[in-house]
Structure 1
Amino acid sequence: MGQHPPSEKNGEGKHRDDRDVGDALRKAYDDTVGEAIPDSMLDLLKKLS
């Protein structure tokens, strides 16, 4: 009772969770950056400049 797996006992579990979150954020960022800019947005930007 009250025991944790060894990886969590010494703090490695938190580091793994942090790494998983970081990997998910990087993937979301990369996916977003890779998206094309819609023509309607480009048209709006042209009107504003």
Structure 2
Amino acid sequence: MPWWSTLLLALGGILLGGAWSLHRQKAPIWVRITFVILAALAIIAAFFTVPWAD
């Protein structure tokens, strides 16, 4: 797995953790949804940048 895929996957995990933390802190719903969307996009991008077969 290339380093940028690992970085994107880690970013997605951090953003999901941030979304959970914001949920526990009763942040506005639009902020939580934004974090979840950004996390999903980072995780999807991580899997699309992996060279599955050469």
| 3-state secondary structure, aligned to 2:50 | coil
Structure 1-normalised TM-score?
A: 0.51
Matched, 1:35 2:12: no
Per the alignment, residue 26 of structure 1 pairs with 41
Match of 1:17 in 2: 32
More helix by share: 2
Matched length: 29
CA distance in 2, matches of 1:32, 1:13: 30
Structure with the bigger RCO (C-alpha within 8 Å, sep 6+) is 2
What percentage of residue pairs aligned between the two structures are identical? 10
Q: Which runs of 5+ in 2 are unaligned?
A: 1-25
The structure number with the bigger radius of gyration is: 1
**Poorly superposed stretches of 4+, deviation over 4 Å:** none
- What TM-score comes out, normalization by structure 2 length? 0.47
